[in-house]
Amino acid sequence: ADRKPATVQEQQEYIVSSFPNIGLNLAKELLKHFKSVKKIVNASEEELTKVEGVGEKKAKGIKEISEKEYKKD
């Protein structure tokens, strides 16, 4: 069966769920709380940990992936 193109909502969930240790359920919680991918990556670690299920380690992972400068080896 042909898969319909992903909705914007599904794409947002996919992007957020690809952060370290953030699955689909947590991605949905983060999106519900912050309303956009941009707001999630701009949030502080402290703000991120206000979402149930997001601890310090997960918040650090989001910050590191979204802020660390890209260096191609």
- Tens digits of pLDDT across the chain (73 residues): 677 778 999 999 999 999 999 999 999 999 999 999 999 999 999 999 999 999 999 999 999 999 999 999 8
User: CB of 30 within 8 A of CB of 22?
Assistant: yes
For residue 18, the model assigns a pLDDT of 97
Secondary structure (H, E, C), the chain: CCCCCCCHHHHHHHHHHCCCCCCHHHHHHHHHHHCCHHHHHHCCHHHHCCCCCCCHHHHHHHHHHHHCCCCCC
- Cα separation, 11 vs 7, in Å, equals 6
